[in-house]
Structure 1
Amino acid sequence: MSENIKDNIMNEFLNGYDVKRISTGEILRGKVIEVNDKEAIVNINYAFDGLITKEELSLDDKNPSDVLKVDDEIEVYVVSPNDGEGYVKLSLIKALAIKEKDEINKAFKGENNITVYVKEETKGGLIAYYGNIRVFIPGSLASRERIELNILVGKSLEVKIIELDFRNNKVVASRRIIEDQEYEIKRNKLWSSLKEGEKKTGIIKKLVKYGAFVDIGGIEGLIHISDLSWNKVNRPEEVVKENDKVEVYIGSVDPKKQRLSLILKDVNKEPWTLHQDEIKEGNIYEGKVVRLTSFGAFVEIFDGIEGLVHITEITDDNISKPSDVLEINQKLKVKVLNFDKENKKISLSIKEAIEGSKEYLNYVDKEEGLSLGELFKDFKFE
């Protein structure tokens, strides 16, 4: 029997009843009334029940009973109002595809996220599916971190559609966009929560001449070389190395410019706080020359505390520069002339320390006219 004859018979039958006509391409809602190994029968509230063959149930040749159960309510696509056997030929795949395309289109226009299933790794990225719609995720957009793409295979991922062209079957998505947005939200929240003096755990990311950059959980801050230790530091490598885990203090925070200064040295062990009560004007201390300038020498009398010996306080001899008689790391005695606690400044004198020494006075009684270099000959150099 030809298709035309079948259609004529169907039309004649329907003309005898007051029923709504259906046509190819319509989406109907129905209820599953029977499922077997070859097909599923669906009540679509029509003169005839609908039939979905195994091929129209899933793309991966699943058993119909693994896809549908009796009493499931589903939407179906009308392939043909008359299959010639007294059923309306239906497709679940096509109905889902229309629905899924509509959902993807709305997500794309609204810049909303969708969840896809990653099926396999391919050249240049990943192949995922939103229902039955193929979605490509470029490797560079699979994550904001460097990862092996194969670890995502078999997982569900929340992504954002960035390209959509159903005519050419082109659906491109990005996971990285979402992770970048989440990172920025977390980053901004962290910036607003930072407080000066607060202690944080971080990782040394990069060393530069002037300090070290530290990641404290999504934000990088700088430890200036002067804040690495209370002692003088010539190079950051003397104190830390890359990937070290460190405990740091928040120095200053500028959320608007997103600038952060950090301090590695323990603020509770600040040398001036620890030793200021031990420093008295007129007292003599043993120190070490740590810097030489044209106008004098800086001598460290406690770890992290140094004072200035002006060139006029080095010796009564006529010298053109401190390095004429002093060397770096030279140990000697100095006398405190002035101590400014508020500004943390100390003025020191070498010649007054020597003049106040009994050993020096006895020495002068026996040996007059010795140079400062000779007077310092008993001090060891490091």
Structure 2
Amino acid sequence: MYVIKGENELGQTELSIRRTGTARKWFDLQQSQDNDESIDVTVIEANTGGVIVNIGGGLRGFVPTSQLDNARIFPLGGYSSKEEAGKELQAKLAELIGTELEVKVIEIDREKNRVIFSEKQVTNDIDPEKREETLEKVNVGDVLEGEVTGIAPFGLFVNAEGLEGLVHLSEISWDKVTNPADFHKVGDKVKVQLIGVDNGGKRIAYSIKRLQKDPWDEIIKKFKVGQRVTGEVTKIVDYGAFVRVEDGLNGLIHISELSDKLVKDPGKIVEVGKEYELEIISMSREERHLGLSLKRVNSSSPQPVAESVSESTVSPEMARLSEYLDEDGETEADKKDSE
């Protein structure tokens, strides 16, 4: 029994049955983790990061989305779009409410009243010895052979030599990735580079693109500031227009570079899907995009000589371009889910 007070004013020892049950449950959880044993829990709530489960004894735990069985929540073929991915994932998580899961404890912190579980470590038949063996021998930067085990809105799950980790969508390809399923499917054999090991190997980060040649090695050689190129307008926003110059190479015509005249609506100057001759006015290897100008091609008056952007300086056009890519690429929710 849990002793609340050694002796009260009546000379009696005060005990708590509820706290005794809670203390016992913490002990059982620690034993389960130490012995690598699974336990049953019930899903009582779902949120964007995973599901909250009832452990018993007045305790609750958390199963992150990344630790749920891939087959349970992620479609084999991926998602049709990023927007649909978020909706489908949230719906799948909500469907789990009331479901009993068999899980293993992967993190326990009594002081913070926190318990993290993994369903994958039960359903994926992970060999603990193989996993530990790989963890002991690999270092960040090593290249491993792996297999895609799941496709999530935020990236690919890859099992490499018993060590499952995440290839975040920003590490899949040098091209912009909005749907990981456009690049790989479940069962694909892939080579990955280990780029991060966190919390004793509980979180593993891999990269596929770092094993591929960076296209900007050739882009820097092929294009120069002041050069004229042809590009297709792919999106119009209130501060300008985004343009695809070639596969993997995108740029921005800032609103100030659309015309010599004052422009309030970029849509009145350029059209989506239409090609234009443009001039490169800035390049940033770091930002991996181009600053482009339409007015310098159409203008008859002399224009100042453009200067390339240094690695440490980002032009307003480049800053805007980064905002656009964040909108369609990595979000804060994605970061949290990959953790």
- Taking structure 1 as the reference length, the TM-score comes to 0.41
Higher relative contact order, chain-length normalized (CA < 8 Å, sep 6+): 2
Structure number with larger C-alpha Rg: 1
- Taking structure 2 as the reference length, the TM-score comes to 0.45
